[in-house]
Amino acid sequence: MKYLIETWGCQMNDHDSEKLAGLMEKEGFQAAEGVEDADVVLLNTCSIREKAVNKVYTELGRLREEKKRRPLLVGVTGCLAQQEKAGLFRRAPQIDFVLGTMALQQLPRLVEEARAGKARVMDTGDYPDNHLFPPETTLRHSTAKALVTIIEGCNHACTYCIVPTTRGVERHRPWKDVVAEVEDLVAMGFREVELLGQNVNSYLGGCTFAQLLDRVAEVEGLEWIRFTTSHPMNFTEELARTLATNSKVAPFLHLPVQSGSDAVLRRMRREYTVEQYLERLAYLGGARERIHLSTDFIVGFPGETEADFEDTLALLERVRYDQSFSFVYSPRPGTPALRLADDLPQAEKSRRLTRLQARQTELTLESNQRMVGRSLKARVESKGALDGGHWLARTGEWKNVHLAVPEGRRLPFGELVDIRVTGAGPHFLRGELA
């Protein structure tokens, strides 16, 4: 029997797919090369925006046709599964089982019941030990960086966000378990880890998040630590000091602001003002010059005026983010923002998004150009040359580098190499071996 997992969404979903793959292999299944080769297809879904949901239903339509040709089990897990529950069966009756985000270890049972002919198998329960998934069961992707969950769920209540519904309240892994997993990953050959959570810097698994970073950094052989994602209300001076002084913590911070308007932030229930957000950035002090900063923006949130949007552009100019991820507001089922009047035309939302992204592209290009001529380290992230003959590497600042390598020379996948930056575009750097 063979299985295939298709994944949408964030790093947490990517890591959940590694866990699900490990469970399937433990039950004797083997990975399929494609849908046509699979006996079980598992869709690990995202529901943070409507576009992600639509992609899942499009794939379910293709699988419906595949099921007409041959026996095939289709399962849906991830945030859409947790959000819609039995509603998925009504909209897509070709689904055989539904598995929630907080019940991952129930996968073998659901597959067994579906294979035995039971219809509409589902478990979207909240298992209190779901965040304590045994790391040894996880089937790691062949990547240069290992993902490590430290916290699941979120205790904030942003009015636009579905995460508290799909991931539940915060559940923290004990810090000793996290350190032990990182030690095992280094023994497996990984030299970089990314600590994951819906809000990593609210971590309280026996220590603060800053203390956890310092303890993970003590693992011998580990070179870089990354983390995502952070809430500004939990970004402390202690964490800023660790980010500024611990050489193993990569010089990159993703701190979502969402809007530059205090009025919009209040409607979003983000719990801070623009000035309070800027105060937290100031915790970095002089280290801000070398720590590359990214953020998230939501454009066209209900009630956003032209003046509100201009405030967002003003914040962009004031902070001059190295990178940002921006989206038009997407209404999500059951969120408080649905009660707000959303009467801004879609064309105007798109215009604002285009304007914001165009300016960010210019700022990112400027950020990349400032790196030209620098000598630094980058991790090799491809196992061979890409189209055009360049290798892919990534710097500690989370910059993609298209690396010129002499013909016939091979680079060690997953290892750090010394490079010199020779050029820059808005989306990547160009470099050569130093």
80 alpha carbon, distance to own chain's centre: 16
E-only strand ranges, 189-271: 192-196, 224-228, 252-254
Could you tell me if 391 and 420 are in contact, meaning their C-beta atoms sit under 8 angstroms apart?
no
Whole-angstrom distance, CA of residue 138 vs CA of residue 21: 7
The identity of residue 83, as a single letter, is: Q
Nearest CA-CA partner of 393 in 369, 417, 373: 417
CA distance 192 to 201: 19
d(CA 370, CA 294): 16
The continuous run of DSSP H or E covering 318 comes out as helix 306-319
The rounded distance, in Å, linking the Cα atoms of 420 and 129 is 46
Would you say 207 is a known binding-site residue? Answer: no
> Could you tell me if residue 110 is left (phi over 0), alpha (psi between -120 and 50 degrees) or otherwise beta?
alpha
Tokens of 137: 């069961």
Nearest to residue 21, comparing CAs of 186, 38, 10? 38
Q: In 10 A of CB 388, how many CB atoms?
A: 7
Query: Can you read off the two tokens belonging to residue 224?
Result: 């870089």
Pairing of strands 224-228, 192-196: parallel
The answer to whether the annotation marks 46 as part of a ligand binding site is: yes
79 is in an annotated binding site: yes
**Per-position b or e across 285-321, b if 16+ CB within 10 A of its CB:** eeebeebbbbbebbbbbbbbeeebbebbeebbeebeb
Burial of 67 (0-12, 13-18, 19+ CB in 10 A): middle
What's phi and psi for 311, nearest 5 deg?
-65, -35
Binding residues for [4Fe-4S] cluster: 10, 46, 79, 154, 158, 161
Binding residues: 10, 46, 79, 154, 158, 161
